[in-house]
Amino acid sequence: MAALLLTAIAVKAQQGKPAPGSTNPLAHSELAIAQGREVFNHNCTVCHVLNGVAGDRGPASGAGRDYSRRKDQAIFDAIQNGISGTNMPPSGLPPIDIWTVVAYIRSLRATASEAFVSGDVAHGEKYSGRKAGAAGAI
């Protein structure tokens, strides 16, 4: 089932660029984040070390620093094309793998307020008595 979901999403991600104004087509997918971690740890650890920690040749990919590439597409482009004038080479990965790595990197950088939490809005409204996003809502 999970593989089927990623396959369906992958069709949109194959060209490497999501629709204008959108972000990673695999964002908020726990499966994509887990797969991105595996792809990252298999392909990027020569420089960045396991789990996005800073290495001898590459900076940390997770929290703890200011990032010049904050948007999903900018991170994707850096992974796909490398970063000119640095030790970051083009990855050679297919777009779907790059998007999983972007999802993983974003999960490392997420603050508590940015972290995706799955849930049922209608179910929550039933118990809170308020519409999601309404003034005064929790």
Question: Going from the N-terminus, what domains does the chain have, and what CATH number goes with each?
Answer: 22-116 (1.10.760.10)
CA-based diameter of the chain, in Å?
Answer: 55
The whole-angstrom separation of Cα 75 and Cα 84 is: 14
Q: Is the pLDDT of residue 36 over 90?
A: yes
**In degrees rounded to 5, what are phi and psi of residue 51?**
60, 25
CA gyration radius, the chain: 17
Please give the residue that has the higher pLDDT: either 10 or 112: 112
Q: Is the pLDDT of residue 132 over 70?
A: no
Average pLDDT value for the chain: 73
Among 28-32, 41-45, 53-57, 72-76, the range scoring the smallest mean pLDDT is: 53-57
Q: Is the pLDDT of residue 137 over 50?
A: no
Q: Is the pLDDT of residue 1 over 50?
A: no
Which tens digits make up the pLDDT trace of 51-92? 666 666 666 665 555 556 678 898 999 999 998 888 889 999
* Terminal Cα-to-Cα distance of the chain (whole angstroms): 34
Q: Is the pLDDT of residue 135 over 60?
A: no
